[in-house]
Structure 1
Amino acid sequence: MEDSKNVIFGRNPVVEAIKGNREIEKLYVSKTAGGNIAKIIKMARDRNIIVSTADSNTLDKLSDGKNHQGVVAVCSVYKYCEIDDILSFAKAKNEKPFLLLLDGITDTHNLGAIIRTAEAFGVHGIIIPRRRAAGVNSTVVKTSAGATEYVKIAKVSNINIAIKKLKEEGIWIVGSSIDSKTDFDKADYTLPIAIVIGSEGEGMAELTQKNCDFIVKIPMTGRINSLNASVAASLMMFEVVRQRNK
């Protein structure tokens, strides 16, 4: 169950939260709700908020048994930044940008582990999509061991538009695929770099892969030909630090 302090319920409070651009991770609506619920759903979708139908038991649990009127909004525990904030942070440190782009990480434990490792390796910021991906919630905060307090995270409507912006800023985009012929330690990470980590099950989306400047692979000799997303991210982040500290 979501942390109750991050939940808004009731039709008017939810409408005001949407109007006020509150960072909402997901909107839950009753399967049988009527009245102005369609208007609330449209407002949410116009702002790229994920909308999910739920039964009464789920809504009761989310609202701690209070009068939810068929709608519950789960809000972020984290204040997201903009991509420009991440780039400004790197510039202020007089360092070449080092970013992560997470293309559809849905497991909150994976996201928390990636954030924890990113903080340890000096990543300037992480970019995640608004839809079909995990956001920073209480589980992520806990799994990150508090690293969410120190890592800048931007949430964007479209990963590929974010990639285009980074390229315009002179940042090279590196993705990974088991089909690549180039081992991950052969890329030049001394350049301004953004590493793309694909989703747990499907990897990078096809369009995201096409927009990468380099595609590399992590060589494996075992029978299982894929790594957990947070482990793959850790290996690639370590290689960036290794090359930059030669």
Structure 2
Amino acid sequence: MKVYGRNILKEILETNTKVRMIYFSDTNSGELTDLIEEVKKRKLPFTIANKKVLQRLSNTEKHQGVVIDIGEFEYKDEGIIESLEKPFLVILDQIQDPHNFGAIIRTAVASGANAIIIPKKNSAQVTPTVVKVSVGTIFKINIIKTTNIARFIKNIKEMGIWVYGADTNGKVYYKTDLRKPVAIVLGNEGSGIRPNVKEKCDGLITIPMKNSVESLNVSVSAGILLYEVMRQNENFSS
């Protein structure tokens, strides 16, 4: 997989993510020169190429002079959850839009979530677009693919993790105890959480609406709910 952008490279360097090759534009600039020097210090593979090569590699003119070949994206194994102390998980039940996925990743990282879980089928996967929308924060969180979301929820509940699904018929989110260990489930942009997944949740939570607004974009809902988890855990911590 080839991703692009200066901030993406900065996140890759900060998280020591493995790279196959870094392509830099032959156009000189202060920030680009600093990045090249940092890559040299770390002895990472890189090359200098003209803008047309970078455009071909990234399929865009907005590559900011940097394209990074990271190879195949590394999804994490479900077993990693057992090693987490009081985990905070985000479960995405068939989110389709890569822009929503990327935005949710960024919010999940910012609010302190440990992992994001997605189904292997009928769901947006990690793509260069997702990485770009997340502004590279995807490299700071565990992304897990599971065959069956409902079964995954059953398994984590047995670990003592409370699971709450976002649904219009739920309890008002700020009146719900969202202290860790906890998982928040967000559903498909059009149909919401599937019934078989919903019934596995410990409870449903909702964001109250005014002026006859029926729902919010799923990435906006994620921002509200995930920051409520962070707020409650900061308030309740000793």
TM-score surpassing 0.5? yes
Root mean square deviation of aligned Cα? 2.3
Q: 2:177 is matched with which residue?
A: 188
The alignment's TM-score, normalised by the length of structure 2, stands at 0.68
Using the alignment, how far apart are the partners of 2:227 and 2:123 within structure 1? Answer: 24
In the TM superposition, 1:63-82 aligns within 5 A as 77-82=72-77
Using the alignment, how far apart are the partners of 1:87 and 1:125 within structure 2? Answer: 12
Post-superposition offset of 1:222 = 2.6
Query: Is 2:180–2:233's contact at 8 Å kept on the other side of the alignment?
Result: no
Query: Is 1:86–1:152's contact at 8 Å kept on the other side of the alignment?
Result: no
The ranges of structure 1 where at least 4 consecutive aligned residues each deviate by more than 2 angstroms after the TM superposition are none
Query: Is 2:75–2:143's contact at 8 Å kept on the other side of the alignment?
Result: yes
In the TM superposition, 1:168-207 aligns within 5 A as 168-180=158-170, 182-207=171-196
Using the alignment, how far apart are the partners of 2:134 and 2:180 within structure 1? Answer: 27
Quick check: 1:149 aligned with 2:139? yes
Post-superposition offset of 1:77 = 4.3
Post-superposition offset of 1:3 = 5.7
Using the alignment, how far apart are the partners of 1:138 and 1:221 within structure 2? Answer: 36
Quick check: 1:221 aligned with 2:216? no
Query: Is 2:166–2:204's contact at 8 Å kept on the other side of the alignment?
Result: yes
Quick check: 1:163 aligned with 2:153? yes
Q: 1:85 is matched with which residue?
A: 80
- CA displacement 1:59-91 (0-9 Å, x = unmatched): xxxxx9xxxxxxxxxxx8420001221341x33
Using the alignment, how far apart are the partners of 2:96 and 2:165 within structure 1? Answer: 18
Using the alignment, how far apart are the partners of 2:124 and 2:178 within structure 1? Answer: 27
Of 100, 107, 115, which residue of structure 2 is paired with 1:117?
107
Using the alignment, how far apart are the partners of 2:233 and 2:72 within structure 1? Answer: 33
Post-superposition offset of 1:220 = 0.5
Partner SS, residue 150 of structure 2? helix
Identical columns (%): 42
Partner SS, residue 200 of structure 1? coil
Post-superposition offset of 1:233 = 0.8
Partner SS, residue 245 of structure 1? helix
Query: Is 1:197–1:204's contact at 8 Å kept on the other side of the alignment?
Result: yes
Further displaced range: 221-230 or 163-172: 221-230
The alignment's TM-score, normalised by the length of structure 1, stands at 0.66
Number of residue pairs matched by the alignment? 172
Of 202, 227, 230, which residue of structure 2 is paired with 1:238?
227
Structure 2 unaligned blocks of 5 or more:
4-58, 60-70
Post-superposition offset of 1:101 = 0.5
Q: 2:21 is matched with which residue?
A: none
Post-superposition offset of 1:223 = 2.8
Post-superposition offset of 1:190 = 1.3
**Cα–Cα, structure 1 residues 197 and 212, in superposed 2: closer, same or farther, change >3 Å?**
same
Query: Is 2:75–2:142's contact at 8 Å kept on the other side of the alignment?
Result: yes
Quick check: 1:209 aligned with 2:204? no
Using the alignment, how far apart are the partners of 1:116 and 1:77 within structure 2? Answer: 20
In the TM superposition, 1:10-159 aligns within 5 A as 77-88=72-83, 90-91=84-85, 96-159=86-149
